[in-house]
Structure 1
């Protein structure tokens, strides 16, 4: 059994107070989510797991942006989520290493439109540990999709964040039916 850790969307536009759409910035700080993700990353690297850092974003001309999407539809107008900009840089506190596999995704779900699945299969991964933002969106999407692809999924709850604690816990409660829920200290 091979394991991978997916760390999702700890980028400036979403998690930094100076981001263009900092919807999870306050809760990320309250949860200490990035520090907890770093603990999980250190543990995963020590164990020899595949570590995957994921960011949402669109190319300079926004051709892949879904213009009618309620959450992505105005990104181009605000120049939000533009790949190669401050907004899609990983948060400065996140421990990103050259050995990490980096995925740029054009939608909420990191399986959609990316090479995540082939990389997981090539590395014989059948168990995923996930953390990041937002619990209500990307963490729900990846957990549900991974479950349906027959991966065993564990969510590192205190390395995730959402708009607020209530939204976060509502998502965690729902996902607990299809995934294991742990704290980073349980993992390490």
Structure 2
């Protein structure tokens, strides 16, 4: 079994918001543990071409970004870059997605198959966004899943709790970074 750590949406415009510091701290510990274990690491971020032509007006999640017309969500914008504390190394791929799920509009599945990964360890912001959408699709793609609950965060603490305690356990092992790292 080959596991890969996916750190999702730990980009300045998302993970840099107040309140997410504990999840960033946990993600940093997970990143260190994965590197020490020689585990493949994949970073996922959301970004668009200039002008956001990938965003339809009907997309409630992203249409406001397109309407602003400021290109704050463009590939090179500071808001879409992985935060400095989790800076990827040159050999750690960065996947750019176009929707909520890490798989939507990206080459993530092809990359994971190339790495030989059949098991995914997930951390991300937000729990009700990228983590939920990625867990659902990854389970449908027959990946074994682990969710690092403390390396995930949501603006709504109750939603985070319900997802990590009641929803995710149906498709994933839900654990802490410390417990996961101790088992490596």
The two structures have a TM-score, normalised by structure 2, of: 0.91
Match of 1:60 in 2: 50
CA displacement, residues 77-103 of structure 1 (integer Å, 9 cap, x when unaligned)? 333422201110112332422221100
Higher helix share: 2
1:28 pairs, out of 17, 20, 26, with 20
CA displacement, residues 106-154 of structure 1 (integer Å, 9 cap, x when unaligned)? 0111112211111111121111000011100110111111111111000
* Aligned-residue RMSD, C-alpha: 1.3
Kept in 2: contact 1:27–1:164 (CA 8 A) = no
**What SS does structure 2 have at the residue aligned with 1:6?**
strand
- Unpaired runs of 5+ in structure 1? 17-24
CA displacement, residues 42-90 of structure 1 (integer Å, 9 cap, x when unaligned)? 1112222110000011111211123211110110233342220111011
- Unpaired runs of 5+ in structure 2? none
The two structures have a TM-score, normalised by structure 1, of: 0.89
The 4+ residue runs of structure 1 with deviation greater than 3 A are none
Counterpart Cα distance in 2 of 1:164 and 1:114:
27
Q: How many residues align?
A: 178
2:81 pairs, out of 85, 89, 92, with 89
CA displacement, residues 11-30 of structure 1 (integer Å, 9 cap, x when unaligned)? 122222xxxxxxxx33312x
Match of 2:173 in 1: 180
